[in-house]
Each structure stands twice: as C-alpha cells, then as structure tokens.
Amino acid sequence: MRKNGILNQEILKATGSLGHTDHLVICDAGLPIPLGVERIDLTVVRGLPRFLDVLKPVMAEIVVEKIILATEIKKASPELLAQIRELAGAIPIDFVSHVEFKRLTRDAKAVIRTGEHTPYSNIILQSGVDFS
C-alpha cells in the first residue's frame, strides 16, 4: 500500500505511463471525452471532487513542461485561472480556443473527469522530462 501521494490506481497507471510531450487532461463534469481515450471518471456528485483537489496532487506527481487552457477561462473563470497560474509557477501556459482544446483531447493519454461545475475547468498537462 502506498504511504502518501495519489492512491487512485487508475490515475497512478495513467501518470506512470506518460512520456515526454504526452498529454494528460483533467476536466470538469461537462467536457466531452473522445471515444478511445482512457476515461478516469472520479465524479461522485455535482461539485465533487473539485477540479483543484485533483489537479494539485497530479501536478505534484508528474513533470509538467507546459499547460494548455481554453482562452475562454480568462473571462468565464478568472479566479480559477489565478489559482492555476499560482500552481503553475514558471510552467508556461498556452491558451487555445475551447474548440481547439476539445480537439487536442483526442490525443491525450487519459482524461480525468472531476465533478467540477465551474466553467472551463479543464486543463491539458504536457509531460516533461526530469533531467535535473
């Protein structure tokens, strides 16, 4: 049994299989998940688990070299964007249209679905390499 960190077996499998430049998506309850992409559905009820409650431990587990967000988050959910920026630190953030964001999810290794209902609570984490 793991002592700490992520305990969910499906999330551990997904994060453990990431290679350089692979994408892992964490999304709200409303994002359509493409057929053929691994779906890790954590939704219990509306609002649970929260997006940030899943994002924080995942980011602590993997090397993230880039973050991709929908441009629409800037107007629809500026508070959430501020929290993501704080978590990101020096990690670059790219913004794309929500339509493009959904297209990019087709190539993700996995999509982790939360119960979040805050608009545009969706993120693509691009896996990096730890050559420090």
| Closest C-alpha to 16, from 55, 61, 54, 52 | 61
On the question of a cis peptide bond just before residue 49, with omega within 30 degrees of 0, the verdict is: yes
Cα separation, 54 vs 62, in Å, equals 13
Ramachandran angles phi, psi of 42, nearest 5°: -100, -5
**Is residue 117 annotated as part of the catalytic site, yes or no?**
no
How far is the C-alpha of 1 from the C-alpha of 117, rounded, in Å?
32
Spatial CB neighbours of 31, under 8 Å, sequence gap ≥ 6: 25, 102, 105, 111, 113, 122
**Catalytic residue of the set 20, 23, 98, 117:** 20
Active-site positions read 20
